[in-house]
Amino acid sequence: MSYPTITRRDLLRSGIAAGAALGLGLRPVMAADTIGQPKAGKIGDFKISLAEWSLHKALFAKNATITNLDFPRIAREQYGIEGVEFVNQFFKDKAHDSVYLKSLKGRANDQGVTCVLIMIDGEGDLSAKNDAERSKAVENHKKWVDAAAALGCHSIRVNTGSNYSPTDVNTAAEGCGRLAEYGASNKINVICENHGGPSSNPDALIALMKAVNKPSFGTLPDFGNFPHQKNGPYSIDIYDAIARMMPFAKGVSAKSYDFGSDGRETTLDFARILKIVTDAGYNGYVGIEYEGSRLGEPEGIKATKTLLESIRGANYQPA
């Protein structure tokens, strides 16, 4: 099956620099990939995981019938998915609860499910200008490195903070660098998603990657989470942005919102993105993160999985 680029959904370019983003000993992508315009060819293999945020409505519901402990079983039994990406909001007070973590890991093992990563929110600003505040944020995150190690994850996803820019990453690099060193000592990566603020500016995020420059520090490119024009489309070329983040990637987040009658995502060209991912040499987990409202969470997760499976191994043909 071939997937041409959906040209009517191509976004206006914003003049982001198109130079190759090098770092962390990974090979540079080719120029065509760097500007988000991959050449025709086969989309490679990858594994599919499920981000717990895809079930946030069910987990946050007033009369919720599921908890974080149920997540590995739900991923396997309801969706046939063998990798899970936890969100710390759903077990906020359990980072150092060895009994709880052992139970969670045991449930994942019982289902044959891999614990991939933990997404961390609400633990402070790693880029804070105040030294004490920044140090506190680093310390707050360390317990989640410990939890990730206990669960057998490869990474924690952090929010990089709000106090940096493409030309000033000093405090962010200091905070993230210290945390990355702690992560490395526990064989856990610290990875950064485009998740609002400076992190959704590829120039700023790549500057941070280069400033930290540690093998245990990388990116988690998300298909969405880029700035929008007011009541309009993205304000940057998201395909360019993802391509520039990929040389640093230690995970990929397949954000989805809605689907057409042909099964394709209506706002994002998944085939084009996954060819960019392939061309970067990535073949790890691609995490489903459904955030739509028209379809319920179960339907949205299933639609995203079906789309990813149909694209995996397909021939990509640009329009």
* Residue 290 predicted with pLDDT over 80: yes
Q: How confident is the model at residue 233 (pLDDT cuts 50, 70, 90)?
A: confident
* Residue 7 predicted with pLDDT over 50: no
Q: Which helix (H) or strand (E) holds 199?
A: none
Half-sphere exposure of 221 (CA within 13 A, CB side): 25
Query: Residues 176, 177, 180, 184: what is their CA dihedral angle, to the nearest 10 degrees?
Result: 180
For range 206-233, the mean pLDDT: 92
For range 29-54, the mean pLDDT: 83
Q: Which domains does the chain have, with CATH numbers?
A: 2-225+233-317 (3.20.20.150)
Place of tokens 């993205």: 234
Q: How confident is the model at residue 265 (pLDDT cuts 50, 70, 90)?
A: very high
**Average predicted confidence (pLDDT) for the chain:** 90
For range 272-285, the mean pLDDT: 97
* Residue 4 predicted with pLDDT over 80: no
Tens of pLDDT, residues 153-173: 999 999 999 999 999 999 999
pTM of the predicted structure, to 2 decimals: 0.89
For range 172-183, the mean pLDDT: 98
For range 246-267, the mean pLDDT: 97
* Residue 198 predicted with pLDDT over 90: yes
Confidence (pLDDT) at 227: 84
- Say what percent of the chain tops pLDDT 70: 89
Confidence (pLDDT) at 228: 80
Confidence (pLDDT) at 266: 96
Edge-to-edge strand list for the sheet holding 155-158:
217-220, 189-193, 155-158, 114-119, 83-87, 47-51, 285-290, 252-256
d(CA 238, CA 9): 11
β pairing state of 285-290 and 114-119: unpaired
Beta strands in 82-122 (DSSP E): 83-87, 114-119
Tokens encoding 4 = 């041409």
Tens of pLDDT, residues 62-94: 999 999 999 999 999 999 999 999 999 999 999
